[in-house]
Amino acid sequence: MNSQSSSTQWQLILAWTELGQRRTETISETQASKSPGLVRLGRDPQQCDFVFAEEADSQSISRLHVEIFFKSDWQRFYLRNLKPKNPAIVDGGRLIEGEIALNAGNIIYLGQKKIEVVEIAKVRGDRPPETVLLSQNPPPSGQPEELHQPVLFSPPESSHLKCPNCGKILPADMRNSACTTCGHFLVDAVSIVTNDPIE
């Protein structure tokens, strides 16, 4: 990866079960790969960046099955099927030709192998996505000023989203949707934890 620590870039995390263990792989928008700009998945180590181990459910995967790439104009990751006779299945739909935008939570089948899109996030350098904890309780008098600053930590399951355009607090499951107030697409929204009720 060719990124400075101060820059931000999109990352996509895939996960699947392989040889009885959970395997995760991260793809960044500037991912180094065998085919520049494309990350290919399949069984052929000569052509593919992510090669599936030889086991029962991987025999149905083509040697060169799919590729994932990032469209900077749309700021999205896309999946393209490379085997029309053995199409990838995304959320129950067969992708015979063309490409489809990926979202966190997508379930992809390559043959019998189930792959989950665990997360798509914009990150700073090699750091994980940031979540900001907003304290609702005022600090005791006499405490140092730095206690007023947000605390960064890994995203909890109960977090919410803050629209970067209008500031509205929204449910966390709306990350791949538009803000109900201003219409801004929330994929770049900051995750927050707050005790305030969602309006």
15 plus 113 within the same structural domain: yes
- Asked whether residue 118 is assigned to any structural domain, the reply reads yes
**pLDDT score of 124:** 77
108 plus 145 within the same structural domain: no
115 plus 174 within the same structural domain: no
- Asked whether residue 64 is assigned to any structural domain, the reply reads yes
43 plus 90 within the same structural domain: yes
171 plus 76 within the same structural domain: no
16 plus 44 within the same structural domain: yes
End-of-domain residue from the set 124, 143, 178: 124
| DSSP collapsed to 3 states, the chain | CCCCCCCEEEEEEEEEEECCEEEEEEEECCCCCCECCEEEEECCCCCCCEECCCCHHHCCCCCCCEEEEEECCCCEEEEEECCCCCCEEECCEEECCCEEECCCCCEEEECCEEEEEEEEEEEECCCCCCEEECCCCCCCCCCCHHHHCCEEECCCCCCEEECCCCCCEEEHHHCCCECCCCCCEHHHCEEEECCCCCC
Domain that holds residue 69: 8-124
117 plus 52 within the same structural domain: yes
83 plus 33 within the same structural domain: yes
* pLDDT values of the chain reduced to their tens digit, one per residue, 199 residues: 444 445 788 999 999 999 899 999 999 998 899 999 999 999 999 999 999 988 877 889 999 999 999 999 889 999 999 999 999 999 999 998 889 999 999 999 999 999 999 999 988 765 544 433 333 344 444 444 443 333 333 334 446 777 888 888 888 777 777 788 877 777 777 666 555 555 5
**How many domains are contained in the chain?**
2
- Asked whether residue 108 is assigned to any structural domain, the reply reads yes
- Asked whether residue 33 is assigned to any structural domain, the reply reads yes
End-of-domain residue from the set 78, 101, 124: 124
End-of-domain residue from the set 95, 124, 153: 124
What pLDDT digit, counting tens, does each position of 81-136 carry?
Answer: 999 999 999 999 999 888 999 999 999 999 999 999 999 998 876 554 443 333 33
